[in-house]
Structure 1
Amino acid sequence: MVQVRAQYPTNGDGSVDIAAWIDRINQRVTLSSPQILREACEWALQLEQEAIAEENIWAEGASSYTTGLEMAEILAELKLDQDSLVAAVIYRAVRERKTDLPAVERRLGLAVASLVDGVQRMAAISVSQNPAKAAAFSSQSQVENLRKMLVTMVDDVRVALIKLAERTCAIRAVKDAPEEKRYRVAREVFDIYAPLAHRLGIGHIKWELEDLSFRYIEPLQYKQIAALLDERRLDRQEYIDEVMGQLRQQLEEAGIQAEITGRAKHIYSIWRKMRRKNIDFSQVYDVRAVRVLVPLVRDCYTSLGIVHSLWRHIPNEFDDYIANPKENGYRSLHTAVVGPGGKVLEVQIRTQGMHEEAELGVCAHWRYKGTDAGSTSSNAYEDKIAWLRQVLEWHEEMGDIGGLADQLRVDFEPDRIYLFTPDGHVLDVPKGATPLDFAYRVHTEIGHSCRGAKVNGRIVPLSYILQTGEQVEIITGKQSGPSRDWLNPNLGYVNTSRARAKVQHWFKQQAREQNVQAGKLMLDRELTRLALNGADYAQLIDKLGIRSQDDLFAAVGSGDIRLMHVVNVAQQLIEPDTRSEQLELIPRRPTKPGRRSDVFIQGVGNLLTQLAGCCQPVPGDPIIGYITLGRGVTVHRADCATAMQLQDRDSDRLIEVSWGSERVQTYPVEIYIKAYDRSGLLRDVSQMLANDKINVLEVSTRTNKDDNYAAMLLTVEVPNINMLGRLLARISQLPNIIEARRNRKESQV
């Protein structure tokens, strides 16, 4: 919900009454020396008046003085200290070059000057997000600015908080700016600063930044939801007042001292929920919501019981973030109930301390830096600083700022898993991480020298997808250096941006000649394997915008360009007269329109299917198919009494079927496999195809006893060329496989 700017106390002439303003600030935070803050305000006003007299304009079209006061107001709400507030007041004057850092240090002290310097360095983020500005900076200067900015953030989190306040003022101020500027500021705030506020747990700032950004990025959706909220605001308020009265009475009778308030639902969060769940506004349960603040944790659960005794709880709409806090430290109980009048109501229950941390996040803990390491406050602060340090390590090593927004926005999403090291420590990684991702999470050198992994004492492939609660042990070798195969997405070795960036960085350090040779080998091997030999390298480098073949090979070898991206471009460039022979995947049979477009049943080919009338299965039910005489396959629920009778009587006519979300067109492709013969070879290939749900249409094998070679020719169905590449790459990883490629007509078993 958009927040209205605070009104400043004024003098008779309309100017800000600094003394009254400082008194108001002093009510929110304790100022050790109010005179220093007053001096900063008077100096900022003097500098602005001098600039106006000299230039006869407002610098950058806005008042640096009142912006500084507004920043200080925001930081006071976040309970920051006096140095932070003083730095906020004078920051814009320094940024607009009305004064400099040495002057700030002389007049306001070294601590304030250091904070201002740190916030200035954070401008590297804005440069990296704006191509027009970035062109004015060399790559080295951008990297150096970013490194300094991140170092400062790690050393003193107050710098990040001042920058968040500054960006909050900036996006508030663009209301009447040109549309292009509104969008640019909103995009930067949404991509960088709202996620940063979320990571630091500052809901108070995060919600405002998200709503204001959403207002300018998606103005139509914003206005529609705002209108829906305004339309029913009075009715909703009367309803909330009734609910709060009933709940307050019950809590008082139980002896619980509670503060109950209505909770405003933020416009962006409403839109995000509507989009995520594909629902309309009327189905958003927490538009009507109340928040209950209690003294103790046990009071939270007692209050929850009272809420559920008053109103019926909605299944699957309860979250216990006290027992299982969110990654950014957020704790609360959330429940949805059917309240008075049959209307859905959300109730949040938390302690006063939890509420303060939810609103202020790291601001509630930064001042504890240096206290006993065993304290909860110190640990909460250090956890957040540790995350900032990880960002620092990555960008300092990579020398690359391109992925910063993705790192802030994606890598801290709540979908994370928690793993044990052999000595019992817990590390978190993004969902879908592999042992290699874990190894790079522990240490770069551990990742580079990783040669295997054990999960819960059992050796697993490096492409194994880790699950929460597993113990991971990395097996390292003497030779330190990653494999180029780790960069092949078809093999699934690394799934996190951090690990991939470290592998790419290692190869970037190798000699160009090595990268050219390796890249040529990788590309030639993949094109041959997919029978794309007709690709013209001259056309390929022109399409990719690369100067020469060697540059292409070097980019592939170092990981700057993904192999499958080049393969896809090569596929598009194959000449039409060779396409049917070498490239195009021809459908095995035409797709027949079904009578039920909403239901697709896999596993029965093109046989006619019908849903049994006795049990009437619906998507999601466990099902089984029965082959009828002349009427195709009848689909029953697995627990259907009729199906159970058929199982006893005609079990040979029962087949496995499953629901599918959509009809996927597949194409037949011949695959040629050459291997050293061994027991179980065909079984391993078949098992791998089954695991990937690849349908096999035909298999033929031949073994040469003289040289112990085995040759296989398989016809399989794949949806696209990417899946074919992934399939061939995985077959090549099986023991004893010499080659696996798409079959050319001259290959015979």
Structure 2
Amino acid sequence: MAAILESIPISDRVEILKCYRNLLRASSSILTWKDIKQIREAIELSMQKTGFERHPSGKLVLVHSLEVARVTVEEMGLGKTSLICALLYELVRNSETTIEEIEKRFGKVEANIMDGLIKVYDLYRTSSSIQSENFRKLLLMFAKDIRVVLIIIADRLITMRSLGKHSLEEQLSISAEVSYLYAPMAHRLGLYTIKSELEDLVMKYTERDIYKFIAKKLNETKRERDRYIKEFIEPLKEELNKHDLKFEIKGRTKTINSIYNKMKKQNVEFEQVYDLFAIRVILDSELKNEKADCWKVYSIVADMYQPNPRRMRDWLTVPKSNGYESLHTTVLGPQNKWVEVQIRTKRMDEIAEKGLAAHWKYKGIRGESGLDEWLTSVREILENPELNAVDLIDDFKLNLYDDEVFVFTPKGDLIRMPKGATVLDFAFNIHSEIGKKCVGARVNSKNVQIKYQLQNGDHIEILTSSTQAPKQDWLNIVATARAKTKLKQALREQLYKEAEIGRETLIRRLKNWKLELNDQLIGQLVKNFRYKTVHDMFRDIALEKLDVVAIREFIQAQQKKESTEAATPGVRSAENFVAAAKEETETADGEVLLIDKNLTNVDYKLAKCCNPIFGDDIFGFVGVSGGIKIHRTTCPNATELRNKYAYRIVKAQWTGEAGSGNYLAAIKVVGEDDIGIISNISSIISKETRVKLRSITVESNEGLFEGAVSVFVSNSLILNSLIKKIRAIKGVLSVSRIDG
């Protein structure tokens, strides 16, 4: 190893040694001397094969691999096997070595995990979008050995931490993928710290302005926040010490993404978000005393500070399905400010930080089964061959972010269901046949409909009927992926059954009229009666929504037309001829959009969901009909479009004169409720020669006004200048651009 290092430039050598020492420090408690020899062997193999090769982030490939390996151990709590696989991943990915060689040198388990990692990489390489049938295979690999997804998440985390060194296009593409798939997966696997960091980093590159704004505000208020946390904690420490409890207390500022979500959800400004931080009490308790000690701390906190009963969360009695255990309460602290307090033990805290991996350390502790149940439900979704790619992703996503409710069967068994689940979800959870026949339920001895949303503590008895059958509108009632999958399967079975009855009915009736059903006739009937599929048509025949007599009349008309055409050769019927309609384009006068840097004067539309204007960072999205919609890169729909339909994304940029267009833009203004402010806003806009006012709408509420101002501008610089001037008006609290 030393000899190879000598051939590497000093700066890179220093970086490698630093990362190697950090890795050994992080994993010292889990490694034997034999393990360290294997790690050195993996590093030497990487140095021999990759040499001076660099990762897209600009680091040496080996440095990137060492950082990923450290994350798997230090931040996920994984062991030697995952550490070695993380070190070798880039090697095998670049075909520098083989799976067979890995098995020979390191073992079968390592080879199997590496095989899964390479298959995942191959799927990404052959498909530009995770919205493809390959997505099913990818997730099946995740479900087969969960260490595959954990190593991929670690790799994505290190990539996100150095994303600033990637191109703008790569920043948006990688951020979209992480936001859409890996952050939710980290959440579902209990990796809350990693999930939070991924979400913050995604926001840093996709919502740059608001990210910088919140980061600046947090920095400005840090001293005041630290002072308040100390004021809250000191008396609590004294009281806890009186009860001979071993503990530590931490004050933790909430993540930028979390704060932004609160601002959006509560429709408030930064200053109005009351719970910017949380206090965490971590107890050093024996396993048998954990629950009692946590409740003792809760009692002390509740005696000192008034708790809000609506904000009580008990995940001690029944942990979350990913193993999370904690007691949360929100109390009224000094200066009448609400403060969230989280109470847990050291074991619970490690599981909260490292999720699934920590369960292997605490083997036999309650909560593991929940993860097994989740992986089983994931496999059920993935192994349904009739789900198309879009439905597959939607159903899978339902299983990622979910809060939970706990309900009881008539026998008293406790069942865990996602928040928002209905009686119908519960019925399908018990058995598909019960779900299909469900007509309602008795909840807490009262009759309720199938759409009733389950509440914590409900006692549920499902009511069924032999005459009941699944209905299409049930898809709007079920909320869980499991129920959706089973319901769609049942509806398809029902459709095919009814379609077969309709087909037999049509064949029988045609036979009576001395006519025969063939593929050509079926195609003509589907087209004439305007059905999407032949199954839909046959189903309507079975349900008597399509009259068989009408079919006979159509056939007779066709026969008559064919005989007429045969008698007058050379004449072509114009019936059913449709001229291709030319789609209108909403282009800005005088503006030309350059697409892919070589196509100009392409017809395009400006997307109404984000209203791009000249100067915005943009991309094109090719519609089904072939037209191109132009979106801002910060469009609310951008992440979904990039992930589901990456193959339809087209690079785009503005060309031409910046002042020749006329674009509609909208801005939101929040301020003190004063008629003078509205006058000042109107006055500023009227003085702007390059801005044309379209409309102002204002709503007042509790001393504040919220206004929407629509203007026509020629480019984003003029709009940003206007926003800056309005923001400077006395009494204006915030100004932001509105999407759509």
Q: For this structure pair, what is the TM-score category when the shorter chain's length is used for normalisation?
A: 0.5 to 0.7
Q: Residues of 1 paired with 2:176 and 2:528: CA distance?
A: 33
Q: Residues of 2 paired with 1:86 and 1:117: CA distance?
A: 13
Amino acid at match of 1:14: V
2:44 counterpart residue number: 42
1:334 counterpart residue number: 328
1:98 counterpart residue number: 96
Matched, 1:219 2:208: yes
Matched, 1:381 2:381: no
Q: Say which of 149, 153, 164 aligns to 2:141.
A: 149
CA pair 159-278 structure 1, distance change in 2 beyond 3 A: same
2:217 counterpart residue number: 228
CA pair 402-177 structure 1, distance change in 2 beyond 3 A: same
CA pair 127-499 structure 1, distance change in 2 beyond 3 A: farther
Amino acid at match of 2:167: P
1:395 counterpart residue number: 382
2:348 counterpart residue number: 354
**C-alpha deviation, 1:59, in angstroms:** 6.8
1:627 counterpart residue number: none
Q: Residues of 2 paired with 1:548 and 1:170: CA distance?
A: 54
Decide whether the 8 Å contact of 1:124 with 1:149 is kept in 2.
no
Cα RMSD over matched residues? 4.0
Q: Residues of 1 paired with 2:532 and 2:272: CA distance?
A: 54
Deviations 1:659-688 (A, max 9, x none): xxxxxxxxxxxxxxxxxxxxxxxxxxxxxx
2:253 counterpart residue number: 264
Amino acid at match of 2:190: G
DSSP-derived class of the 1:244 partner:
helix
2:229 counterpart residue number: 240
Q: Residues of 1 paired with 2:265 and 2:339: CA distance?
A: 20
Q: Residues of 2 paired with 1:547 and 1:34: CA distance?
A: 73
**C-alpha deviation, 1:285, in angstroms:** 2.9
Q: Could you tell me the TM-score, scaled by structure 1's length?
A: 0.59
1:298 counterpart residue number: 292
DSSP-derived class of the 1:551 partner:
coil
Amino acid at match of 1:112: E
Deviations 1:164-203 (A, max 9, x none): 2122122223223222221221122122111111112121
Decide whether the 8 Å contact of 2:141 with 2:148 is kept in 1.
no
1:502 counterpart residue number: 486
Q: Residues of 2 paired with 1:286 and 1:71: CA distance?
A: 33
**C-alpha deviation, 1:328, in angstroms:** 3.4
2:511 counterpart residue number: none
Decide whether the 8 Å contact of 1:446 with 1:476 is kept in 2.
no
Q: Say which of 77, 93, 97 aligns to 1:79.
A: 77
Q: Say which of 439, 463, 472 aligns to 1:487.
A: 472
Q: Residues of 2 paired with 1:341 and 1:510: CA distance?
A: 62
Deviations 1:439-479 (A, max 9, x none): 3323445545x3656536888765565555233346475x9
Q: Residues of 2 paired with 1:418 and 1:11: CA distance?
A: 56
**C-alpha deviation, 1:223, in angstroms:** 1.3
Amino acid at match of 2:345: T
Map 1:103-252 onto structure 2 (within 5 A).
103-123=101-121, 132-133=128-129, 139=133, 143=136, 145-146=137-138, 148-152=140-144, 156-252=145-241
2:417 counterpart residue number: 429
Decide whether the 8 Å contact of 2:294 with 2:344 is kept in 1.
yes
Matched, 1:63 2:60: yes
**C-alpha deviation, 1:517, in angstroms:** 8.3
Decide whether the 8 Å contact of 1:196 with 1:408 is kept in 2.
no
Decide whether the 8 Å contact of 1:512 with 1:554 is kept in 2.
yes
CA pair 125-416 structure 1, distance change in 2 beyond 3 A: farther
Unaligned runs of 5+ in 1: 1-9, 522-540, 560-618, 620-749
Q: Which has the higher mean CA deviation after the structures are superposed, 439-448 or 292-301?
A: 439-448
Q: Which has the higher mean CA deviation after the structures are superposed, 316-325 or 81-90?
A: 316-325
Q: Residues of 1 paired with 2:129 and 2:12: CA distance?
A: 43
Number of residues of Structure 1 aligned to a counterpart in Structure 2: 501
Decide whether the 8 Å contact of 1:127 with 1:134 is kept in 2.
no
Q: Which has the higher mean CA deviation after the structures are superposed, 255-264 or 413-422?
A: 413-422
**C-alpha deviation, 1:133, in angstroms:** 4.1
Decide whether the 8 Å contact of 1:147 with 1:395 is kept in 2.
yes
Amino acid at match of 2:189: L
**C-alpha deviation, 1:334, in angstroms:** 2.9
Unaligned runs of 5+ in 2: 1-9, 286-290, 506-522, 541-700, 702-740
CA pair 462-47 structure 1, distance change in 2 beyond 3 A: same
**C-alpha deviation, 1:503, in angstroms:** 3.4
Decide whether the 8 Å contact of 1:79 with 1:363 is kept in 2.
yes
Decide whether the 8 Å contact of 2:410 with 2:459 is kept in 1.
no
2:641 counterpart residue number: none
Q: Residues of 2 paired with 1:518 and 1:171: CA distance?
A: 56
Decide whether the 8 Å contact of 2:203 with 2:211 is kept in 1.
yes
**C-alpha deviation, 1:222, in angstroms:** 1.2
Amino acid at match of 2:379: L
**C-alpha deviation, 1:88, in angstroms:** 0.9
Amino acid at match of 1:361: G
Deviations 1:2-45 (A, max 9, x none): xxxxxxxx999525227634531333533462111111112122
Decide whether the 8 Å contact of 1:25 with 1:73 is kept in 2.
yes
Decide whether the 8 Å contact of 1:419 with 1:428 is kept in 2.
yes
Q: Say which of 240, 243, 247 aligns to 1:254.
A: 243
